[in-house]
Chains A and B, each alone.
Chain A
Amino acid sequence: MGLRKTHTPDARRAVIDREHPRDLDGLLDQLRCGDVKQRRWAARDLARHPQATAALGAQLLRETEPSVREALLTSLQAMPGDSAVSALLPLLRSENAQLRNGAIEALAGMPLAVAPRVAALLHDNDADVRIFSVNLLGELRHAQVVPWLLQVLHDEPEVNVVAAAIEVLAEVGEPGHTGALRAARDRFADDAFIAFAANMAIKRIDAP
């Protein structure tokens, strides 16, 4: 007993024979199987197969095991691009907050692929999706974030979407944006929260 050096071959066992096929078709089959263990490993290993992004996204919509969901999200993040964005965007409509947040986090890591979709997202029929899209802008590293936020302040009819945009602009805004904040405040003159949020943002941006 005591300290013992690892000599047992299973300690860091060489990966020679995997129990299940690791090719694309085999992994896709395992992704849909009933065994959590297999699904999680399939999700991880599919990160090497860009053709699998749609299947990963579809699995996210039906997957109930959190540890598999995390592996699915990580694999999609590892393959940033248009098809990964297409696989992730439907999750913004999910009722599951963890799934939505996971999608926003993953999408935030692929700004160049997300950018062409922002205009459509900000005009989505569902106000909740527009709110989540503004939340995404808050995490997105892209030079157009401020112009997109200003567009929301100017055009958006739903007060909660505007409130979300004001919150982000409070952090990233510059003195030149206070006019847009004042205009949004005036546009929702009857809404006390918008007045409060806009004033706070202006104060923060104008702080010496």
Chain B
Amino acid sequence: MKAAALARREQITEADFLKFRDFFYRKTGIHFDENKRYFVDKRLLDRIEATGADDFRAYFIALRFESKGEELQRLVNAMTVNETYFFREAYQFDCMVNDMLGEVAKRKAPGSRIRIWSIPSSTGEEPYSIAIYLLERWPLINQYDVEIMSSDIDTTVLQSAQRGIYSARAVGQLPKDYLHKYFDQRSDNEFAISRDLVAAVEYSRVNLTDAADTRKFRDIDLIFCRNLLIYFDDLSRRIAAEAMYDAMVPGGFICLGHAESMSRITPLFSVRRFADAMVYQKPMSGVRP
């Protein structure tokens, strides 16, 4: 490649960045501030090189018009960080115990069942975080039966979740007293979660886009579905949203990842803004097929 062409390929201009940012936001709901410029440029340049495009303009046009959306998905993967640990995005757990469960409980008599679904379970950090939050920070925990269900399409991670062995990094955000209370430290980098917590979570293999899998889920009060839909294509996102809608009770809540937006997928849910987080809610008047 000649020097001028090489230089062009290695450059993302301000106009390029703005054009890309608008498009990417429209397609994914992910917004990049100016201070993320380096992060975005680097990944864009990586993809430009990987696809063999001459420059940003050529890459953008190909990205914009490719019929299957495969490159867009690769770009989403590159632009998002897939990691999980205990108490990740804890503001939504705060919202759960400070507001959402209070609303749910108001509609139920003491002693009733409250059902929470965490999907994807990944290796268990999220459902166990929910369990710990409930036990430690929800004052009404002893007045209701709370069922935590957690699902993933990957049976390997489900097995890992049920083993419940975590690295120091995975438990790094947990308060020390919780760590001592719910984990058995086996070495510097190995923490085994309490078997009581493992026993409290019902795990299952579920493909969220397969109606045969999701139809079994009913009467869910609260769903955590974080950082999953962003990896789906447009149609799969809609199918997943439809499935969650039908699995929930009217008035039930959904928490998505911070970069995800249900409003971009379907108008089925309303936005609710609480002090700790913005979440989505199935309308009270909604039908329950």
Residues of A near any B CB (own CB < 8 A):
1-6, 8, 10-15, 36-38, 40-41, 44-45, 47, 65-68, 70-71, 73-74, 77-78, 98, 105, 109, 111-112, 141-143, 145, 171-172, 174, 204, 207-208
Contact = CB atoms under 8 A, between A and B. Distances in A.
A15 B212 contact: yes
Closest 9 CB pairs of A and B: A207-B15, A3-B200, A6-B202, A12-B216, A41-B289, A40-B289, A36-B287, A6-B147, A4-B145
Given A14-B216, A15-B212, A74-B238, A5 B201 contact: yes
B145 A1 contact: yes
Interface stretch (B63-71, B89-97, B170-178, B253-261): B63-71
Interface string B185-225: 00000000000000111101000000110011111000000
Contact of B141 (A2, A70, A143): A2
Given A67-B286, A141-B65, A4 B147 contact: yes
Contacts of A208: 13, 15
A40 B234 CA distance: 20
Given A4-B200, A109-B234, A111-B67, A207 B13 contact: yes
Nearest to A138: B26
Contact of A12 (B13, B111, B204): B204
B186 to A, nearest CB: 24
12 contacts: A2-B141, A2-B145, A2-B146, A11-B115, A11-B219, A67-B286, A67-B287, A74-B239, A109-B235, A145-B65, A204-B15, A207-B14
B169 interface: no
B200 A5 contact: yes
Interface in B95-121: 111, 113, 115
A3 B146 contact: yes
Contacts of A171: 19, 22-23, 64
A174 B61 CA distance: 9
A162 B255 CA distance: 41
Nearest to A69: B267
B216 to A, nearest CB: 4
A207 B19 CA distance: 11
B287 A37 contact: yes
A88 B59 CA distance: 31
A68 B149 CA distance: 27
A5 B216 contact: no
Contacts of A13: 216, 218
A151 B199 CA distance: 64
Contact of A204 (B19, B61, B65, B113): B19
Contacts of A44: 211, 242, 246, 289
B144 interface: yes
A74 B242 contact: yes
Contacts of B219: 10-11
A142 B65 contact: yes
Contacts of B64: 141, 171-172
B267 A12 contact: no
Contacts of A112: 67
Contacts of A105: 234
Nearest to B114: A4
Contacts of B141: 1-3
A135 B14 CA distance: 26
A1 B67 contact: no
B153 to A, nearest CB: 16
B268 interface: yes
A4 B196 CA distance: 10
Contacts of B201: 5
B218 A98 contact: no
B235 A3 contact: no
B160 interface: no
Contact of B67 (A14, A36, A142): A142
B158 interface: no
Contacts of B78: none
Given A2-B142, A3-B200, A12 B217 contact: yes
Nearest to B22: A171
A38 B287 CA distance: 10
Interface in B137-152: 141-149
Interface string B10-24: 000111000100110
A21 B65 CA distance: 42
Nearest to A77: B235
Nearest to A170: B19
Given A37-B289, A40-B287, A70 B61 contact: no
A174 B64 CA distance: 13
